Amino acid sequence: MTEYTAVNLDLMSHYKSLYDASPVHASDTSFANIWGWAEHFGLELHFDERLAWLRQTRQTPRPVWWSTIGPWREIDWTRPSPLDQGGEFCRVPEDLALAWKEALGDRVELAEARGQWEYLYRAQNLATLKGNKLHKKRNHVNAFFKSYPAIYRAITADCLEDVLRMQQEWCMWHECKNSPSLIAENGAIRRVLECWDEIPGLRGGALYVENKMIAYTVGEVLGKDTLVVHFEKARSAFRGVYQAINQQFAAAETHNVTWINREQDLDEPGLRQAKASYAPENFIKKYTVTVRAKESGQKSEYSTG
């Protein structure tokens, strides 16, 4: 039987070593993200010799797998693996999806998952907002700081209570109790914040006005040159606050990274327009991959668990 274990902090070191060895560092398979959403999606891990296999057991009629993690360009995909049992794999980067198609041929069907594409921006561009494409964003930020005596601070352990308090208030304003998706996101945010000192690579920033937090961002360093923004919330009564926290976080971190990943748009038109308005330079393209099981006459050491 292929044994899976619920995502937990004891698996973090092994998982992160394989994640770092992956050719593509997608945000949804970073450890902070899978830890945050582990309970909601029922995420489980199986490790073989060189790879991590991530299975989702909740929110779908049957289990589905997320992208496989590890040095996949070095793998002979014709050898025995959990792929032999077939199944649906979501959030799969294009590089890996094409490798499976090349190795397994007609057993693999690919469907472009546009809503899962991750938006990549140059950190320097988000920090300075220079150029015609971003002049409206720059104007919003300038107007914000002229209107409010705002101060930016990096998130550290001693201000996590402020973040948790603001998140709770944000949920009240947006009536999270009536939205299953917002309830789930709130749970994911709390899980990540409560493990701030245990998960390496977490970064964050906040805006304060008169010692009250009005916006925060929580991100994570991916690989050597990318920072992902996992969560970003603000008090929208402060005009321009979202543009301001975006710019200030980028400016504070641009000396550490080249790229900022602002995750997916989930096929939401408004979110897609907002992300496009910042002029992304690249995407992490993804596919949903359906793999047909090996025929009964073809033996494999793997069986589902």
As a whole-number percent, the residues of the chain with pLDDT over 90 amount to: 94
pLDDT greater at residue 49 or residue 31: 31
* 118-283 matches 5-117+285-291 in CATH topology: yes
Amino acid type, 30: S
Please write the tens of the pLDDT for every residue from 128-163.
999 999 999 999 999 999 999 999 999 999 999 999
| pLDDT above 60 for 298 | no
Amino acid type, 206: A
What is the band of 19 on the pLDDT scale with cuts at 50, 70, 90? very high
User: What's the pLDDT score for residue 2?
Assistant: 82
As a whole-number percent, the residues of the chain with pLDDT over 70 amount to: 96
What is the band of 295 on the pLDDT scale with cuts at 50, 70, 90? confident
User: What's the pLDDT score for residue 49?
Assistant: 87
Q: What is the mean pLDDT of residues 28-32?
A: 98
- How far is the first Cα of the chain from the last one, in angstroms, to the nearest whole number? 5
E-only strand ranges, the chain: 5-6, 43-47, 52-56, 64-65, 87-93, 108-112, 118-122, 150-154, 202-209, 212-222, 226-234, 259-261, 282-284, 286-291
Which pTM value belongs to this model? Answer: 0.94
Where along the chain do its domains lie? 5-117+285-291, 118-283
User: What's the pLDDT score for residue 244?
Assistant: 98
Judge: domain 5-117+285-291, CATH 3.40.630.30: yes
Q: Name the maximum alpha-carbon separation found in the chain.
A: 72
Please write the tens of the pLDDT for every residue from 87-134.
999 999 999 999 999 999 999 999 999 999 999 999 999 999 999 999
| pLDDT above 60 for 304 | no
Lowest-confidence region among 88-102, 165-179, 289-303: 289-303
The mean pLDDT of the chain is: 95
Q: What is the mean pLDDT of residues 253-265?
A: 95
Q: Which CATH superfamily is domain 118-283 in?
A: Gcn5-related N-acetyltransferase (GNAT) (3.40.630.30)
d(CA 34, CA 23): 18
**Structural element, H or E, at residue 17:** helix 12-21
